[in-house]
Structure 1
Amino acid sequence: MLNNIKPKTGRLLISEPFMSDPNFKRSVVLLTEHGEEGTVGYILNQVGNLILNDVIQDLWQADNHIYFGGPVAADTLHFIHRCYDKLQSGEPIGDGLYWGGNFETLKILMNSNAIDATEIKFFMGYSGWGVGQLDREIEENAWMVSDIPNVDLIFGNDDEKLWRDVIVHLGPKFAHVSNFPIDPNLN
């Protein structure tokens, strides 16, 4: 099911429909780093049970959901955003997206309602691959790679729809995959 797009910072990984690893079942991962030392990304479509103000008490009005970013360092908080104009910090990852930034400034902006929930997404943990590991998994058809079809999709909250929309964006050759059942035994 290879689609010939190579992974790089700012691209998406889409899990194949029947991936057996429960951490990545029907997941869409935003790559925030891809280079000689490995790959880092965040699962965009696995909302967790925590709200931001459950984790950071001095963010009293922050009712943003925290997503499961991946199985690595699951006790760490990370964020991506598209509000560099307000936060004035973060590592650029493409398409007006940024990874991380000054958390003290972020808290001030969030407590004053200067940042909207559609501009930022929080994650517990991250997804990581060692040197060459992701390339091997792509060769084994565990992942497809895509450019970001629409930045708004990244900040949405319809987990299953995101996976389907990104698959359909890959083109007619892949669109039928979006209709595969979660459990192939139910087909």
Structure 2
Amino acid sequence: MSTNIKVGSVLLAEPFMLDPNFKRTTVLLVDHSAEGSVGFIMNRKMEISVDELIDDFPEFEAPVYFGGPVGADTVHYLHCRGDLLSGSDEVVKNVFWGGDFRQLKTLINNKLIKPSDIRFFVGYSGWSDRQLEEELELGSWVPAKMDANYLFSSEPDSLWKQVMENKGSNFAVIADMEEGASYN
């Protein structure tokens, strides 16, 4: 399997992955270099809003997602408003990572950023140097192309299946496998 992945790639957990942190996850890769890789799980919505999570944050009914098991005491955000939020890094077309946090709060207060424009993540998914390549070679992840709609418009509960189906007929069969199925 080719391990030629880059920033903006989607990583789909292989259907039999046992690690509970990543079982049936859809991860957006936001950083990938010789030092390691960083991504955010896009389909693990938490039952908390960002204004409940962060003190002194404007009232804002934006959902929070479990980004991964690393840095569980950190909050990150992906958004589509790189045109407004300085310091944002473009990950892929119409998807930006981070930006000036004080400016973000001002933009939210002025209703220039809506809940549908942004996703917040507690923690992140991280890999050390060559770790992700090794996992890809072992078949732990199925790489896919990112579409901003996956992040901002898709239902988190069906995202893994949706992206897998979008890869084509062979992967659509995998997407239809029931969770927990085993073949002896």
The TM-score normalised by the length of structure 2 is 0.93
Give the whole-Å Cα distance in 2 for the aligned partners of 1:15 and 1:6.
17
- Per the alignment, residue 18 of structure 2 pairs with 20
Gaps in structure 2 of 5+ consecutive residues: none
Q: Which has the higher helix share?
A: 1
**Counterpart amino acid of 2:178?**
P
Q: Is the 8 A contact 1:59 1:111 kept in 2?
A: no
Number of residue pairs matched? 183
> Is 1:41 the counterpart of 2:39 in the alignment?
yes
CA–CA separation in structure 2 for the residues paired with 1:118 and 1:51:
13
Equivalent residue of 1:84, what SS? coil
Instruction: Using the aligned pairs only, state the percent identity.
Output: 37
Which residue does 1:51 correspond to in 2?
49
Q: CA deviation at 1:5?
A: 6.2
Give the aligned partner of residue 32 of structure 1. Answer: 30
1:98 deviates by 1.1
Distance 2:97 2:58 in 1: 23
Within a 5 Å distance, the mapping from 1:1-150 to structure 2 comes to 2=1, 4=2, 6-148=4-146, 150=147
CA deviations over 1:79-133 (Å, ceiling 9, x no partner): 0111011213311112121111000000011122211122111000000001111
Q: What is the Cα deviation at residue 6 of structure 1?
A: 2.3
1:178 aligns with 2:178: no
Q: Quick one: distance in 2 between partners of 1:98 and 1:67? A: 16
Contact 2:37–2:128 under 8 Å retained in 1:
yes
Q: Look up the SS of the partner of 2:59 in the other structure.
A: coil
Structure 1 stretch displaced more, 157-166 or 10-19: 157-166
